[in-house]
Amino acid sequence: MYNQIAGKRLPRIEALSDGVFSIAMTFLVFNLKDPLAATPATEEALLGALWSIAPNISSFFLSFMTLGIFWTGHSTQFDYLERSDRNLYWLNLFFLMFVALLPFTTSILGGHIDNKVAVILYWLNILALGLALLLHWNYAYRKKLLALDETNAMQVHKAIRQRIIYAQAFYGLGAALCFVHPFLSLVVIFAIQLNYAFGIFSRK
């Protein structure tokens, strides 16, 4: 009986998700530490210190965009959701688990930006986010938890699925480039994200 009555409150899962996203986004700032904290420093020394944490600052922006992209995707799915059940709750919670993990994989990346292991770990986090989001949509679609009329349904379903699959294919390619050079990999992943943020090369 409990499993039938649990997990039906759609606004709550959305509120929790916005909470986890906004916290994970703001947590990224913790990877930015003043290397000269509490030490008197000349202007040159402070500029140098800021320059020395450039990899951390770059990965702050990279991860903020990552979270922004997945948050937009999550928000789009909820625009169609009409009902929920406890399985959907849990698929969403697994998705949020990997949202909450991103500040950690970001800190590893910021600290070891030329290290293949760090790039692959970061990519695995992105992959987990994509898979969880895809499972979440597929489940909602299959269980008819969506508010979609017949004519529209297939089109929206395909658009959402393809977006996730294409993006993950690009991310996978980007990550594979780390075997050429870790830095190249990050540049390509960043370019993919800029494309998705600004919607430049996407089919309208």
Q: Is 156 in the site for a copy of itself (CB under 8 A)?
A: yes
Residue (143 or 158) nearer to a copy of itself, CB = 158
Burial class (CB in 10 A: 0-12, 13-18, 19+), 101: middle
Q: Is 122 in the site for a copy of itself (CB under 8 A)?
A: no
Q: Is 126 in the site for a copy of itself (CB under 8 A)?
A: no
Shortest distance (Å) from residue 185 CB to a copy of itself = 14
User: 100, 62 in Cβ contact below 8 A?
Assistant: no
Residue numbers 42-61 binding a copy of itself by CB under 8 A: 42-43, 46-47, 50, 60-61
In whole angstroms, give the CA distance from residue 18 to residue 22: 6
Which residue has 């959305």 as its token pair? 14
**Helix (H/G/I), strand (E/B), else coil: 180:** coil
**What would you measure as the largest C-alpha separation in the chain, in angstroms?**
67
Site string for a copy of itself, 160-199 (x = CB under 8 A): x-xx---------------------------------xxx
**CB 98: neighbour CB atoms within 10 A?**
21
Number of residues that bind a copy of itself (CB under 8 A): 87
Residue numbers 83-102 binding a copy of itself by CB under 8 A: 86-87, 89-90, 93, 96-97, 99-101
Residue among 40, 167, 28, 17 at smallest CA distance from 92 = 17
Question: Contact with a copy of itself (CB under 8 A): which of 54, 75, 154, 179?
Answer: 75
Contact region with a copy of itself (CB under 8 A), list: 5-13, 123-131, 134-142, 184-192: 5-13
Distance of CA 176 to the CA centre of its chain: 19
Residue among 150, 135, 140, 22 at smallest CA distance from 81 = 140
Which residue has 């349904």 as its token pair? 153
Shortest distance (Å) from residue 140 CB to a copy of itself = 15
Question: Contact with a copy of itself (CB under 8 A): which of 59, 66, 71, 122?
Answer: 71
Residue (18 or 138) nearer to a copy of itself, CB = 18
